[in-house]
């Protein structure tokens, strides 16, 4: 093997770095119109009237649509909405009407001419109150704001708690996290004269959208062609059918011209299918020796006003509940609920960061009660290779132990450090402040400057800085995830007259490097250099079926498909050599040309379809949804300023079992990016709602961490060579984000003695928690809201 495990730059790296990649905003077509959407400014109301007549007369306007102008086709997971709202608006931002005009300014001016009247109705925003008797109903016809209940159990949970030596209990509150993709959402629709629609769309699910969108438009799915431009960030945000995709198609049909509906930044934020607000009430029991006995959780997940992927996160949480660590007794209930807020969606980790925050916080609480080291506590309960969990997950390869040991070795807890090592955990008061020290050496006239949060106190004894270390582990699917009946992906490998290979694969490159990894695998299998392989364009007319880019499935599933297709092509080459009587070392180009230039010749096109050996869950929610599982562990070192509440992450060690790193550079990229998004989730990011609408829809007020907020990250790749993975590989897309918040919260608890159970741990929230703790004047742990 030569190409597997190599640090090969992405095929499109130079295009991206030099501005050549084309995003949806860059597309130019003759006659292209730009669209804008009129949105509700009230969270709940009855639409009394919408009058678009003046907008239709406005200069430069080609089409104006309100709900009466479009097919009243409901769509979505629960068929609970239409692209333009007819009788009701159910959240700030709901689509009321849309305009296509010569440019975005003309369209925006025309929106101002639309007259509409909405009679406000009472609204509900808090997922913890929305099931209260008398709460306003988001969908009156459903009679309740409950979308669905998910139940899961194994063992007898009460028995587990009864036998426990230690029980910890708490309520964890997780915020809505926005994706903040570099490129805002958008789509370009064009119809040809025969009524066939081409949609240029950076979607994560080209083949699923074909059916869903065609259905809302009333056309056969085969009359819909999806072309994906370069995707400028997804992370789950492009995993469903959204109103802007339907509206662009409808406007293009009405205008008889191609139409782009591209969101501006604020719109992208305000309509983002965020990670749902989630409340986890959890208790966990352990025996005196640290063995876990029972775990129980009651979860509420906010769906927003319409059901999208947010409503499915309880299924992922359920697998973590049932299979993460060896727990004999587990009980779980999750309720998904409507509120008058933006529909929630999929976000990297898909419920797992939420439930892992609770589980891993309680692992540390239990370790503290029992008096054992947090890593030891986890090792005692770790999943094992070959284990079948009570939930039905068949664990094949498993590097959980190796990951935990790797982070312990690199960030040992205080006291166990080898003598002479760098002191990692300094006691309070040991921190002499850098800036204050520098001051001494500067000339007297020069001022001492330091950004707040880094300092202070001239006497060491008064330093407000406390350091701590925290650990958290992760369990996640890594061999596909059977959420739909299909978890498959097709691939073809064509060898051309010049001996080059074109890989036609259904999977989507969302920036993670799928196309390069597919090329690496095909080149490896064919025994040709990487330069001899190219990837066919992302077009549903060309590429074969794939379920979509989600669930950390692409390297595993598409990789297996590409590898098998390449093998098939190679077999055909060999067969042709034999049939033609060519020597076994005849180069590919000569073999293929010989086929093409003879009577009754044939093509060399290898093909394969890979659908992994996993299963959908049964009626009891049990089953092996993934063909492989991945594990990881993170350790974080933080510094907390106890006077301001500011938490700084100084260092992260992140170890992940990836089966086999096909390209270690991308694995590191996934880990570093996951840590960054995890730090945002832990410390900074929160969609702040006012009347259910996002009040911080920009990068200044919705704070994602910047380069200066990032700690040093040490990545450790653990290779366990999964028997069913392509070259042994498993997934790595989502896992690196999952344990970050828990590791940081554990480090904050380690540093200060105060446990935060609510994210993000903003300075003010930490400050309040510290103050509440100081007020009770008793050592112990408290949390933000309880």
Partner 1 sequence: MRPFDYVEPRSVDEAVALLSRGGERTRLLAGGTDLIPRLRRRQWRIDRLIGLRRIDGLRDLTLEDGVLAIGAGVTLEELAASTTVSDVCPLLAEAARLMASPQVRALATIGGNLCHASPAADLAPPLLCLNATLRAIGPSGGRDIPIGEFFTGPGRSALRDGELLVQVRVPAVEGRGVYLKFSPRRAMDLAVVGVACFRSHGVATVAVGAAAPTPLRVPASPDEAAARCSPIDDLRASAEYRREMVRVLTRRALEIVP
Q: What are phi and psi of 618, to 5 degrees?
A: -90, -170
Q: Which two tokens stand for residue 589?
A: 């180009």
Q: Quick check: 449 binds partner 1 (CB under 8 A)?
A: yes
Residue closer to partner 1 (CB basis): 685 or 719:
685
**Residue 266 in contact with partner 1, rule: CB under 8 A:** yes
Does residue 429 bind partner 1 (CB under 8 A)?
Answer: no
Q: Does the footprint of partner 1 cover residue 643 (CB under 8 A)?
A: yes
Segment 190 to 219, residues that bind partner 1, using CB under 8 A? none
Please identify which residue in 18, 445, 461, 775 interacts with partner 1, judged by CB under 8 A.
Answer: 445
784 binds partner 1 (CB under 8 A): no
How far apart are CB 672 and partner 1 at their closest, in Å? 18
Residue 778 is encoded by which pair of tokens? 């008793």
Q: Give the CA angle between residues 3, 7, 12 to the nearest 5°.
A: 95
In terms of DSSP bridges, do strands 501-505 and 533-535 run parallel, antiparallel, or are they unpaired?
Answer: parallel
Q: Can residue 371 be called a binding residue for partner 1 (CB under 8 A)?
A: no
User: Contacting partner 1 (CB under 8 A), which of 48, 430, 699, 786?
Assistant: 699
Q: Which of the residues 90 through 119 are near partner 1 (CB under 8 A)?
A: 105, 108-109
User: Cβ closer to partner 1: 165 or 436?
Assistant: 436
How many residues sit in the footprint of partner 1 (CB under 8 A)?
A: 44
Beta strand ranges found along 259-379 (DSSP E): 259-262, 278-286, 292-304, 329-338
User: Where in 459-518 is the site for partner 1 (CB under 8 A)?
Assistant: none
What is the side-by-side order of every strand in the sheet holding 115-120?
Answer: 88-89, 45-51, 115-120
Tokens of 191: 């119809």
Q: Which is nearer to partner 1, 456 or 524 (CB)?
A: 456
Q: Is residue 428 part of the contact set for partner 1 (CB under 8 A)? A: no
Candidate residues 68, 144, 384, 695; the one interacting with partner 1 per rule CB under 8 A: 695
For residues 174 and 317, give the distance between their C-alpha atoms in angstroms, rounded to a whole number.
13
Among 1, 193, 700, 778, interactor with partner 1 by CB under 8 A: 700
Q: Indicate which single residue of 460, 601, 706, 723 sits in contact with partner 1 (rule: CB under 8 A).
A: 706
Length of the chain counted residue by residue: 786
* Residue 502 burial (10 A CB sphere; 0-12, 13-18, 19+): middle
- Identify the H or E element spanning 13: helix 13-17
CA distance 761 to 785: 12
The yes or no reply on residue 169 touching partner 1 (CB under 8 A) is: no
Please identify which residue in 25, 171, 439, 721 interacts with partner 1, judged by CB under 8 A: 439
Residue range at the interface with partner 1 (CB under 8 A); choices 32-40, 204-212, 445-453, 747-755: 445-453
Rounded to whole angstroms, the Cα distance separating 751 from 286 reads: 24
Q: Quick one: which segment of 290-298, 300-308, 331-339, 452-460 binds partner 1 (CB under 8 A)?
A: 452-460
Q: Which is nearer to partner 1, 705 or 731 (CB)?
A: 705
H, E, C per residue of 206-233: HHHHHHHHHHHHCCCHHHEEEECCCCCC
Structure tokens at 294: 């029972």
| C-alpha–C-alpha distance, residues 172 and 278, integer Å | 8
CB 641, min distance to partner 1, A? 9
Query: Per-residue x/- marks for partner 1, 757-776, CB under 8 A?
Result: -----xxx--xx--------
What gap in Å lies between CA 248 and CA 259, rounded to an integer? 6
578 is a site residue for partner 1 (CB under 8 A): no
Binding track over 376-415 against partner 1, x by CB under 8 A = ----------------------------------------
Q: Is 60 in the site for partner 1 (CB under 8 A)?
A: no
Evaluated on CA atoms 371, 376, 378, 383, the torsion sign reads negative
Q: Which is nearer to partner 1, 453 or 664 (CB)?
A: 453
By CB under 8 A, residue 233 contacts partner 1: no
Supply the minimum distance, in Å, between the C-beta of residue 127 and partner 1: 20
Closest among 320, 351, 616, 635 to 469, alpha carbons compared: 635
Minimum distance from residue 107 beta carbon to partner 1 (Å): 12
**Is 701 near partner 1 (CB under 8 A)?**
yes
Residue 385 Cβ, how far from partner 1 at the closest point, in Å?
Answer: 42
- Taking residue 772's Cβ as centre, other Cβ atoms within 10 Å add up to 15
Per-residue CA distances from 397 to 134, 588, 630 (Å): 51, 37, 8
Q: Is 240 in the site for partner 1 (CB under 8 A)?
A: no
DSSP β-ladder status, 329-338 and 146-154: antiparallel
Nearer to partner 1, 456 or 611 (CB): 456
Minimum distance of partner 1 from residue 696's CB (angstroms): 6
Query: What is the smallest separation between the CB atom of 440 and partner 1, expressed in angstroms?
Result: 11
> Residue from 431, 696, 724, 746 that binds partner 1 (CB under 8 A)?
696
Binding-site member from 371, 707, 779, 780 for partner 1 (CB under 8 A)? 707
Closest CB to partner 1 among residues 445, 600: 445
Nearer to partner 1, 572 or 696 (CB): 696
Nearest to 305 by CA among 148, 139, 82: 139
Measured CA distances, 526 to 2, 107, 533 (Å): 12, 52, 10
How far apart are the C-alpha atoms of 311 and 172, rounded to whole Å?
A: 18
Binder to partner 1 among 436, 530, 605, 650 (CB under 8 A)? 436
Q: How many CA atoms lie within 13 A of 62 on its CB side?
A: 23
Stretch that binds partner 1, among 241-249, 444-452, 586-594, 747-755 (CB under 8 A): 444-452
Return the range that interacts with partner 1 (CB under 8 A); candidates 314-322, 393-401, 432-440, 574-582: 432-440
Smallest distance from partner 1 to CB 759, Å: 13
Q: Which stretch binds partner 1 (CB under 8 A): 361-369, 576-584, 707-715, 729-737?
A: 707-715
Q: Which residues of 444-454 are buried (b: 16+ CB within 10 A; e: fewer)?
A: eeeeeeeeebe
Interface with partner 1 (CB under 8 A), residue from 345, 623, 705, 726? 705
Among 751, 753, 756, 770, CA closest to 427: 751
Torsion of CA 557, 560, 565, 568, to 10 degrees: -150
Among 102, 113, 372, 450, the residue binding partner 1 under the rule CB under 8 A is 450
The b/e string for 5-43 (b: 16+ C-beta within 10 A; e otherwise) is beebebbbeeeeeeeebebbeebeeeebbbbbbbbbebb
Which residue is associated with the tokens 């849309």?
Answer: 98
458 belongs to the binding site for partner 1 (CB under 8 A): yes
- Smallest gap from Cβ 84 to partner 1, in A, equals 22
The stretch among 240-248, 378-386, 440-448, 499-507 that binds partner 1 (CB under 8 A) is: 440-448
Q: Is 715 helix (H, G, I), strand (E, B) or coil?
A: strand
Rounded CA separation 737/349 (Å): 7
Q: CA–CA separation, 275 vs 680, rounded Å?
A: 13
Binding footprint of partner 1 on the chain (CB under 8 A): 105, 108-109, 264, 266, 435-436, 439, 444-453, 455-458, 643-644, 646, 683-684, 688, 695-696, 699-701, 703, 705-709, 762-764, 767-768
């Amino acid at each position: 093997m030569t190409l597997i495990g190599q640090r090969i730059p992405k095929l499109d790296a130079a295009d991206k770095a030099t501005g050549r990649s084309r995003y949806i905003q860059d597309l130019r077509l003759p006659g292209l119109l730009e669209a804008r959407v009129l949105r509700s400014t009230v969270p709940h109301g009855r639409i009394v009237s919408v009058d678009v007549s003046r907008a239709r007369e406005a200069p430069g306007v080609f089409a104006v649509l309100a709900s009466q102008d479009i097919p009243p086709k409901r769509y979505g997971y629960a068929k609970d909405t239409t692209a333009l709202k007819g009788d009701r608006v159910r959240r700030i931002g709901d689509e009321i009407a849309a305009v296509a005009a010569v440019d975005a300014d003309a369209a925006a001016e025309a929106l101002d001419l639309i007259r509409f009247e909405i009679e406000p109705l009472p609204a509900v925003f808090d997922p913890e109150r929305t099931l209260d008797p008398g709460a306003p109903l988001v969908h009156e016809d459903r009679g309740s704001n409950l979308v669905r209940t998910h139940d899961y159990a194994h063992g007898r949970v009460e028995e587990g708690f009864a036998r426990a030596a230690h029980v910890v209990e708490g309520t964890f509150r997780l915020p809505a996290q926005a994706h903040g993709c570099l490129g805002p959402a958008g789509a370009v629709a064009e119809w040809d004269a025969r009524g066939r629609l081409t949609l240029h769309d950076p979607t994560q699910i080209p083949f699923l959208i074909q059916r869903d969108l065609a259905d809302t438009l009333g056309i056969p799915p085969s009359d819909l062609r999806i072309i994906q431009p370069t995707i400028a960030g997804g992370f789950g945000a492009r995993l469903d059918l959204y109103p802007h995709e339907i509206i662009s198609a409808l406007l293009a049909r009405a205008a008889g011209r191609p139409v782009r509906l591209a969101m501006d930044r604020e719109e992208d934020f305000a309509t983002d299918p965020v990670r749902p607000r989630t409340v986890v009430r959890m208790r966990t029991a352990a025996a005196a020796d640290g063995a876990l006995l029972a775990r129980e959780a009651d979860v509420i997940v906010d769906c927003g006003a319409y059901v999208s992927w947010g409503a499915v996160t309880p299924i992922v949480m359920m697998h973590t509940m049932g299979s993460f660590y060896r727990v004999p007794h587990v009980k779980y209930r999750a309720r998904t609920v409507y509120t008058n807020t933006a529909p929630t969606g999929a976000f990297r980790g898909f419920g797992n960061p939420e439930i892992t925050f609770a589980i891993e916080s309680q692992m540390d609480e239990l370790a503290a009660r029992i008096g054992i080291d947090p890593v030891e506590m986890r090792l005692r309960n770790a999943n094992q290779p070959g284990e079948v969990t009570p939930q039905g997950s068949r664990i094949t390869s498993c590097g959980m132990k190796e990951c935990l040991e790797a982070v312990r070795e690199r960030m040992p807890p205080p006291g166990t450090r080898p003598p002479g090592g760098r002191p990692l955990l300094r006691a309070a008061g040991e921190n002499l402040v850098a800036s204050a020290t520098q001051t001494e050496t500067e000339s007297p006239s020069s001022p001492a400057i330091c950004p707040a949060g880094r300092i202070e106190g001239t006497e060491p004894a008064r330093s407000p800085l406390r350091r701590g270390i925290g650990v958290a582990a992760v369990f996640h699917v890594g061999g596909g995830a059977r959420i739909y009946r299909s978890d498959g992906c097709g691939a073809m490998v064509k060898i051309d007259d010049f001996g080059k290979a074109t890989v036609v694969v259904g999977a989507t490159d969302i920036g993670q490097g799928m196309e390069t990894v597919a090329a690496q695998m095909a080149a490896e299998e064919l025994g040709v250099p990487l330069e001899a392989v190219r990837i066919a364009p992302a077009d549903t007319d060309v590429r074969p079926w794939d379920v979509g880019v989600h669930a950390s499935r692409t390297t595993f599933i598409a990789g297996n498909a590409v590898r098998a297709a390449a093998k098939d092509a190679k077999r055909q080459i060999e067969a042709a050599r034999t049939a033609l009587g060519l020597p076994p070392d005849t180069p590919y180009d000569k073999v293929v040309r010989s086929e093409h230039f003879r009577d009754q010749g044939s093509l060399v096109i290898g093909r394969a379809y890979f659908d992994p050996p996993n299963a959908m869950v049964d009626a009891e929610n049990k089953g092996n949804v993934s063909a492989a599982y991945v594990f990881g562990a993170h350790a974080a070192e933080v510094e907390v300023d106890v006077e301001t509440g500011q938490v700084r992450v100084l260092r992260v060690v992140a170890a992940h079992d990836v089966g086999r790193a096909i390209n270690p550079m991308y694995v590191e990229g996934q880990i570093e990016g996951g840590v960054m998004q995890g730090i945002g989730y832990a410390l900074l990011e929160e969609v702040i709602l006012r009347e259910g609408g996002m009040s911080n829809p920009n990068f200044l007020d919705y704070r994602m961490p910047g380069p200066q907020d990032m700690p040093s990250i040490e990545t450790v790749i653990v290779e366990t060579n999964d028997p069913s993975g392509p070259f042994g590989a498993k997934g790595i897309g989502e896992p690196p984000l999952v344990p970050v918040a828990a590791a940081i919260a554990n480090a904050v608890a380690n540093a200060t003695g105060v446990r935060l159970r609510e994210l993000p741990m903003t300075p003010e929230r930490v400050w309040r928690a510290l103050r509440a703790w100081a007020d009770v004047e008793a050592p112990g742990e408290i949390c933000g809201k309880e």
